[in-house]
């Protein structure tokens, strides 16, 4: 049987389907006790007082922005490299996004550049723990305290990651998470807002609970499309469509057709109806199961990343990801730099391995945000990064195959110049111990 490796894997737990059917049979798919239980367990996992489940991660952010008493029309600092929806939600809520450049090697907001962007209208910072790596929260919190700024952490890609021993999502005034299919916790959509502030939590809850319930039809469609996506990215499913299509397309173009499957970048003047819904009980049932497995799954992704780094750090054609000290990256993505990413990707898909060239948006140069455009050269550089499949579902033999492929397809590429402040190998290794 052919086995091709897609860029993404969807985390599921054996028995999820049975739980979904059972919840529908009991009449507890839409409303039921699992929602509160999931919120409580999610809050406990983070040692935070209040968690509120929402239709999307972005809606958790929207409710938080409205609950946190941030002066209307003020400026909010975002990393230049983040999912476009998040600054767009802030714009819809009446704020002005200000983009600050990232560190091209960690992909996260560069704390050294934040103060230069602060004006007397700045009220908040939204650090994104991108690709699963925590931001430098000590430095960000020091700046926030000095300038009396609210901090809302975007933990959509980093559930379970730690910074100085503490989970991300517990440093700022509040944080939000996503349970969209590709995320660390998959409940086929959904999000969570976390905070220790009881009045903020109550305000978020009243906004979330004022939304209409999902209908059974909406839930059924959610799971059917989720199950279809799962089979399409499975090694057997991908072998029948993504691999032949990608390999054939690579003969004529370097265009990444996957971009057409992503949510279209657009102004969100009026939120789609799907945003304006409550989280459902059946999703919370899956959330409870996924939360119990989160650390184990993260550990597997981390072990996969460790295997890659052990080998690839010695390849001159490849620059491996830089990890910050005292943090536990959960490797939602494993990003490398090579001198010719398009060529490496083209060669890899012909061998049945799907690399992605760029995943997140360089918001500082998106036409959508042209009125907030900023010069962020390091964010621009990240568009050249290459992402290797690293997800927890991969088998050891898959990881070996990805490694063999990446070395083959980059063997004749120009060597990468050493980053100016490259960590010594011992430092690099110790920060990724699994």
Ligand X SMILES: Cc1ncc(COP(=O)(O)O)c(C=O)c1O
Contacting residues toward ligand X, per CB under 6 A: 56-58, 82-83, 85-86, 128, 154, 156-157, 178, 180, 191
- Least distance between ligand X and beta carbon 58 (Å): 3
Output 171 or 243, the one with its CB closest to ligand X: 171
3-state DSSP: the chain helix, strand, coil percent, rounded to 5? 45, 15, 40
Closest distance to ligand X from the beta carbon of 60 (Å): 8
Q: How far is the CB of 250 from ligand X (least distance, A)?
A: 26
The least distance separating ligand X from the CB of residue 82, rounded to whole angstroms, comes to 6
Alpha-carbon gap, residue 52 to 287, rounded angstroms: 13
For ligand X, which is the closer residue by CB, 267 or 433? 267
Question: Got the DSSP string for 322-360?
Answer: P--TTEE---S-EEEB-S-HHHHHHHHHHTTB--BS--S
Element (H, E) at 406: helix 396-410
| 3 state DSSP class of 3 | coil
Alpha-carbon Rg for the chain in angstroms: 21
Q: Give the nearest distance from C-beta 2 to ligand X in angstroms.
A: 30
Q: Tokens in use for 264?
A: 């279209």
Question: CA-to-CA distance for 371 and 41, rounded, in angstroms?
Answer: 41
User: What is the closest distance, in whole angstroms, from the C-beta atom of residue 55 to ligand X in the complex?
Assistant: 8
Nearer to ligand X, 180 or 250 (CB): 180
Is 153 or 328 the residue whose CB approaches ligand X more closely? 153
Residue 424 φ/ψ, nearest 5 degrees: -70, 150
Smaller CB separation from ligand X, 80 or 403: 80
Question: Between 354 and 361, whose beta carbon lies closer to ligand X?
Answer: 361
**Rounded CA separation 10/343 (Å):** 27
CA 225 to chain centroid, in Å, comes to 20
């Amino acid at each position: 049987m052919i086995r091709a490796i897609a860029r993404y894997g969807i985390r599921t737990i054996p028995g999820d389907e049975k739980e979904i059917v059972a919840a529908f049979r009991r009449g507890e798919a839409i409303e039921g006790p699992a929602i509160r239980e999931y919120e409580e367990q999610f809050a406990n996992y983070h040692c935070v007082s209040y968690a509120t489940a929402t239709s999307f991660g972005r809606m958790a952010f929207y409710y938080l922005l409205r609950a946190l008493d941030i002066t209307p029309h003020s400026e909010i600092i975002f990393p230049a490299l983040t999912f476009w929806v998040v600054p767009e939600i802030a714009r819809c809520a009446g704020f002005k996004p200000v983009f600050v450049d990232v560190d091209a090697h960690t992909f996260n907001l560069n704390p050294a550049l934040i103060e230069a962007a602060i004006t007397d209208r700045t009220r908040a910072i939204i650090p994104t723990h991108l690709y699963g790596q925590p931001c430098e929260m000590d430095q960000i919190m020091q700046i926030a305290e000095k300038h009396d700024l609210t901090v809302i952490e975007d933990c959509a890609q980093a559930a379970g990651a730690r910074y100085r021993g503490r989970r991300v999502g517990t440093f700022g005034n509040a944080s939000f998470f996503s349970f969209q299919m590709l995320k660390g916790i998959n409940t086929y959509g959904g999000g969570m807002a976390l905070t220790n502030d009881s009045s903020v939590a109550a305000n978020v809850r009243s906004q979330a609970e004022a939304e209409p319930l999902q209908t059974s039809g909406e839930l059924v469609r959610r799971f059917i499309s989720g199950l279809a996506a799962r089979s399409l990215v499975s090694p057997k499913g991908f072998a029948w469509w993504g691999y032949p299509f990608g390999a054939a397309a690579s003969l004529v173009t370097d265009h990444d057709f996957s971009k057409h499957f992503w949510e279209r970048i657009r102004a969100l003047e009026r939120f789609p109806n799907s945003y304006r819904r409550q989280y459902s009980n059946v999703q919370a049932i899956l959330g409870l199961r996924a939360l119990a497995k989160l650390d184990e799954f993260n550990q597997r992704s981390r072990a996969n990343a460790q295997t890659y780094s052990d080998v690839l750090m010695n390849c001159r054609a490849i620059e491996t990801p830089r990890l910050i000290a005292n943090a536990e990256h959960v490797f939602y993505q494993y990003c490398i730099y090579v001198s010719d990413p398009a060529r490496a990707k083209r060669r890899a898909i012909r061998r049945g391995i799907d690399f992605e060239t760029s995943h997140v948006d360089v918001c500082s140069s998106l036409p959508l945000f042209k009125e907030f455009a900023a010069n962020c050269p390091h964010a621009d550089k990240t568009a050249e990064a290459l992402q290797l499949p690293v997800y927890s579902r991969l088998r050891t033999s898959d990881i070996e195959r990805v490694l063999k492929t990446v070395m083959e397809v980059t063997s004749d590429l120009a060597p990468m110049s050493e980053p100016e402040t490259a960590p010594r190998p011992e430092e690099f290794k110790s920060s990724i111990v699994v």
